[in-house]
Amino acid sequence: MPYYVYRIETRGAVRKLDALGVFDDYRRASLECRRLRAGPLPESASIRMIFADNALRAEELLGAVREVGPIVDEDF
């Protein structure tokens, strides 16, 4: 499965996904993410890498809202 690199811009409740590249190995995808994050990037944008079967599945995973897990208090 390939690694997909996306720029995600958030404006209010709207998220815009821009595909920036597809890589066969983790190292190359990670280096590209670092290079993109080091450059000028608007406050409302982030760079994400995701491992998925295809571009459609990658966009589904990036668009999914993840629920916050329970907070565990270790100081009883």
pLDDT > 60? residue 76: no
pLDDT > 80? residue 38: yes
Q: What is the pLDDT of residues 11-35, one digit of tens each?
A: 888 889 999 999 999 999 999 999 9
**CA dist., res. 72 & res. 64, Å (int):** 24
pLDDT score recorded for residue 75: 62
% of the chain at pLDDT higher than 90: 63
| Domain ranges (residues) in the chain | 3-62
Q: Which has more pLDDT, 62 or 65?
A: 62
**CA dist., res. 3 & res. 55, Å (int):** 9
Calculate the average pLDDT of the chain. 90
Strands annotated E in 1-76: 3-11, 14-23, 45-51
